[in-house]
Chains A and B, each alone.
Chain A
Amino acid sequence: MNISRKDFLKLAGLAAVRVGAGALPNDASAAVEEFEGNPDRFGILVDTTQCIGQNCRRCELACAKEHNLPALDKAPEDATVFDQPRRTHPGQFTVVNRFPGSNPDSPVYVKKQCMHCDEPACASACLVGAFTKTDQGAVAYDASVCIGCRYCMIACPFDIPTYEYASALHPRVRKCTFCLETRLKEGKPPACTEACPREVMTFGKREDLIKVARQKIARHHEKYVDHIYGEHEVGGTSWMYLAAQPFDTLGFRTDLGKTPYPSLTRNYLSAAPLVMAIWPAFFLSIYLFTKRKDELAAKQNGKPHGNNKEPGEEH
């Protein structure tokens, strides 16, 4: 499984030549449609009952530092940051939001970032295949081919991708990378996970994390709702959540279903070759029928073919 550095460079070089020559466009998205899942792919289990939120937000800080993002809008001590639920934006790939808890005195804090779907809607929607689900489990984005149509943002059921609207020349889609290049490829947990003082996030192989989550729920069934958010949602995600109250009270969409999003358009697209094959035959047949009818009519009227002027042509 491990590729040596030398081999990797060789492969990368070949890929660069291939793309550079423009002979063969790299068909990155084919990998999405046939995705069965690397059984060893990584994931994160987020236990929302553990997050302290206020005066912390170290995950946000660590993320900003890791990706050279601008400083946070509001300092961790500033509680007003939780007044409105926030979403990700080009300057912040992860945000912690506050939701009322079942006990009014103890609000619940929920970290939001890319879910790294097993079958990502963004990857299926991208017309240049800029998104790939990597073997490690991350959904990676390649800005070098992105044309900026922002269809990925329409497609994403979790509203994660953001766009650099203020850039005239090099606008990119920005989102959580799972720290793929800097950490995940070496098997290390992402920056946010490492920075968390409460161990809200557990890093590991996705398969193992599901077992861990089940055990937690079984052991503390009075504490957790019996649901691992992300185990089956939209076909499964690499990031998964545990909670002590229904997920729809914590800003999660619970109406997304288990169907992987790429399959929502797959059937439609498979009809396109049929149209391409059948339509020309169909319309040419109609043309031939009408032509023959016209010829017969012209013969009956004793007029030579081709001289039957229509009102539109009379000058």
Chain B
Amino acid sequence: MATVTAPVHRTPLIAPNFMRDKIFLGMTPRDYFKSLLTPGHFIAWAILAVGIPVAFQRFTGGLAAVSNLTDANPWGIWIGIDVLCGVALAAGGFTIGTISHIFGLREYNSLVRPAILTGFLGYILVVVGLAFDLGRPWRLPYPMFVSWGTSSVMFEVGWCVALYLGCQFIEFLPPLFEWIGAKRLRTWAVRLTLGATVMAVVLSTLHQSSLGALLLIAPGKLHPLWYSMYLPVFFLISAVSGGIGMIIIESTLAHKFFEKQTGHLSHRDLDRLILGLAKGGALVLYLYFWLKVIGVAHEHQWALLTTGYGQWWLVEVFGFILAPAFLFMFSVRNLKPSWARIAGVWTVIGLVLNRLNVSTIALNWNAAERYVPHWKEIAVTVSIFTLGVLIYEFIVNRMPILLQHPDYAGENH
């Protein structure tokens, strides 16, 4: 089977050319740019055409120029969605890496590389989102090199995310070296995989839970139904569920839109893998559901369930944790991979809902001044996501992510 990296019409007359072979997919620049004129790309560039001027405004006029952030509501959707959801939904990388490389379930191997790529991209975009939100983003390395605030949960998050980015870069090296044809470097990079996978679990456990622990210091501000000493555990478990949901969504979309590259994995095989993931999804969501119930029991907050916020909590916990758990279970029982796909989307929506609740809706719930995002904040968030999709497309069209490089077929990396 041909890889995309191999130019289609290379003849002995045409010498190897890096730009043409590696960047323009073997086409002439003219043909390549023509191939980009698709409706999908048009929408993507239209979104960025709105987002880029807003970004310019943000960095020249300050946060006030584009956001509804105030002294009363210092965190908005850039923290709630770009950072909290971004990190949680990128958990697919470490989840599937652990399943395949550590638990030894190697049939999931073909899902590892795409998940690691989306994880890596996800974290890079989290940093991009953070750059919008931080007052002085150019000081991002300060917690590492200038001044240590060791008593801060945020300090731990910063260090873990920074180290994890390095870890993901190592995990991403094999396809990168395969793409540029550096065989010896690739062998060396593959040897680091196990170590990187173990580090990925350690660092992910720490910072996924730490993001929940950030709110431990705000008991007076986060609604008691969401505030719990178990917040770190909630965040870790839900990130694993969201990661599983994302792998299901992503592999399904990849099969649909990059059919040429995913041909080696038949639809039947993918369906089998998705049902396997559904089993895991059901298990994790049940665990998460009961932990959420224990959280309320532990803080003795049953009485609050009758309030408006209580009903909203019930919607989140029954509608977006227990319900997708049931759907995952039914999909496994009835061998319905399509139900598992719906449950995957449902789980991801539930995770976004939870992070928004914790960071905006149920935070400062008792304050006079409530936060509603400015459309420009939404424009930035949507643009960053769009950018991620474009980079993902660029990479999978070039590097052996979805398909296996023929030179290394049969290896498990």
Query: Which of chain B's residues have a CB closer than 8 A to the CB of A166?
Result: 61-65
Do the beta carbons of B410 and A29 come within 8 Å of each other? no
With beta carbons under 8 angstroms apart, the residue of A27, A126, A291 that contacts B104 is A291
A149-179 contact mask (Cβ, 8 Å, vs B): 1 or 0? 1110111010101111111101110000000
Q: Given A283-B98, A290-B103, do A312 and B146 touch, yes or no (CB 8 Å)? A: no
Q: Does B33 contact A (CB under 8 A)?
A: no
Residues of B within 8 A of A89 (CB): 71
A252 to B369, CA, bound (A): 17
A19 at the interface (CB under 8 A from B): yes
| B71 and A153 form a contact (CB under 8 A) | yes
Render B69-99 as a binary contact track against A, CB cut-off 8 A, 1 for contact.
1111011000000000000000000000010
| Contact call B152/A127, Cβ cutoff below 8 A | yes
Complex CA gap A168/B137 in Å reads 11
> With A127-B158, A150-B135 as given contacts, are A265 and B103 in contact (CB-CB < 8 Å)?
no
Q: Within 8 Å CB of A129, what residues of B? A: 147-150, 152
* Segment touching B, from A6-14, A51-59, A187-195, A268-276: A268-276
The docked-state distance in angstroms from the alpha carbon of A171 to that of B220 is 27
Q: Please report which residues of chain B, range 23-64, place their CB below 8 angstroms from some CB of chain A when the two chains form the complex.
A: 59-64
Chain A neighbourhood of B191, CB < 8 A: none
Of chain B, the residue at the smallest CB distance from A261 is: B217
- Cα of A124 to Cα of B217 in the assembled complex, Å: 9
> Which A residues are in CB contact (< 8 Å) with B150?
27, 29-30, 129
Kindly state whether residue B218 has any CB partner on chain A within 8 Å. Answer: yes
Among B101, B218, B265, B269, which residue has the most Cβ atoms of chain A within 10 A? B218
The 0/1 profile, CB within 8 Å of B marked 1, for residues 208-237 of chain A is 000000000000000000000000000000
User: Within the assembled complex, what's the spacing in Å between the Cα atoms of A283 and B156?
Assistant: 22
In the complex the two chains form, what is the Cα distance from A275 to B133 in whole Å?
A: 30
CB <8 Å contact, B151 and A269: yes
**A128:B149 contact, CB within 8 angstroms:** yes
Contact of A153 among B74, B148, B269 (CB under 8 A): B74
Question: Is A200 positioned at the interface, with any CB of B under 8 Å from its CB?
Answer: no
Q: Could you tell me the distance between the alpha carbons of A265 and B156 in the complex, rounded to whole angstroms?
A: 11
Contact among A121, A165, A275 for B63, CB-based, below 8 A: A165
Minimum Cβ distance to chain A for residue B405 (Å): 11
Given contacts A145-B142, A149-B134, A280-B202, contact A127 B149 (CB under 8 A): yes
Q: Interface 1/0s, chain A 68-111, versus B by CB < 8 A?
A: 00000000000000000101111000000000000000000000
Main secondary structure of the interface of B (DSSP, over half): helix
Taking CB atoms, residues of chain B closer than 8 Å to A279 are 198, 201-202, 205
Q: Which residues of chain B come closer than 8 Å to A126, judged between CB atoms?
A: 149, 152, 154
In the bound assembly, the distance between CA atoms of A242 and B150 in angstroms comes to 36
Given that A168-B60, A269-B156, A275-B202 are contacting pairs, would A28 and B149 also be in contact in the complex, using a CB cutoff of 8 Å?
yes
Tell me, yes or no, whether B106 is within 8 Å of chain A by CB: yes
A309 within 8 A of B: yes
Whole-angstrom distance between the alpha carbons of A146 and B216 in the complex? 22
Chain A residues whose CB sits within 8 angstroms of the CB of B216 once the complex forms: 264-265, 268
Do residues A29 and B104 form an inter-chain contact, with CB atoms below 8 A? no
Q: Do B59 and A168 have beta carbons less than 8 Å apart?
A: yes
Assembled-state Cα–Cα distance A100/B64 (Å): 34
Known: A150-B75, A163-B71. Is A125-B145 also a contact (CB below 8 A)?
A: no
A148 CB contacts on chain B under 8 angstroms: 134-137, 139
Task: Kindly state the interface size class of chain B when it binds its partner.
Answer: 35 or more
Which residues of B lie under 8 Å from residue A262 when comparing CB positions?
151
Nearest A residue (CB) for B202 = A279
CA–CA, A175 and B363, complex, Å: 22
Taking a contact as CB atoms under 8 Å apart, the answer to whether A147 and B134 are in contact is yes
Contact in complex: B139, A147 (CB < 8 Å): yes
- Give a binary string over B249-278; 1 marks a CB under 8 Å from any A CB, 0 the rest: 000000000000000110001001100000
B382 contacts A by Cβ under 8 Å: no
A293 on the B face (CB < 8 A): yes
Question: How many angstroms between the C-alpha atoms of A238 and B240 in the bound complex?
Answer: 44
B404 located at the interface, meaning its Cβ lies under 8 Å from any Cβ of chain A in the complex: yes
- Inter-chain contact A165/B151, CB cutoff 8 Å: no
Q: Are B74 and A154 in contact (CB under 8 A)?
A: yes
Which residues on the A side are within 8 Å of B363 (C-beta)? 154
Stretch of B107-115, B285-293, B340-348 with 4 or more beta carbons under 8 angstroms from chain A:
B107-115
Query: C-beta contact mask, B201-226 vs A, less than 8 Å → 1, else 0?
Result: 11001100010011111111100000
Please pick, from A27, A124, A147, A255, the residue contacting B148 in the complex, using a CB distance under 8 A: A27
Given contacts A256-B220, A268-B153, contact A147 B74 (CB under 8 A): no
Question: Chain A residues near B198 (CB, 8 Å)?
Answer: 279-280, 283-284, 287
Cβ of B283 to closest chain A Cβ, rounded Å: 17
B305: Cβ under 8 A from any A Cβ = no
| Chain A min CB distance to B134 (Å) | 5
- Of the residues B101, B107, B202, B205, contact of A311 by C-beta under 8 Å: B107
Closest to B144 in A: A25
Most chain-A Cβ atoms within 10 A of its Cβ — which of B60, B65, B111, B206?
A: B206
Cβ of A22 < 8 Å from any Cβ of B?
yes
17 further A-B pairs in the complex, CB-CB below 8 A; given A25-B147, A268-B210: A29-B152, A121-B217, A124-B217, A126-B149, A128-B149, A129-B147, A129-B148, A145-B146, A148-B139, A154-B75, A166-B62, A265-B216, A269-B153, A283-B202, A287-B102, A310-B107, A314-B264
Which residues from chain A sit less than 8 Å from chain B, CB to CB?
19, 22, 25-30, 32-33, 85, 87-90, 121, 123-130, 145-151, 153-155, 157, 159, 161-168, 170-172, 253, 255-256, 261-262, 264-266, 268-269, 272, 275-276, 279-280, 283-284, 286-287, 290-291, 293-294, 309-315
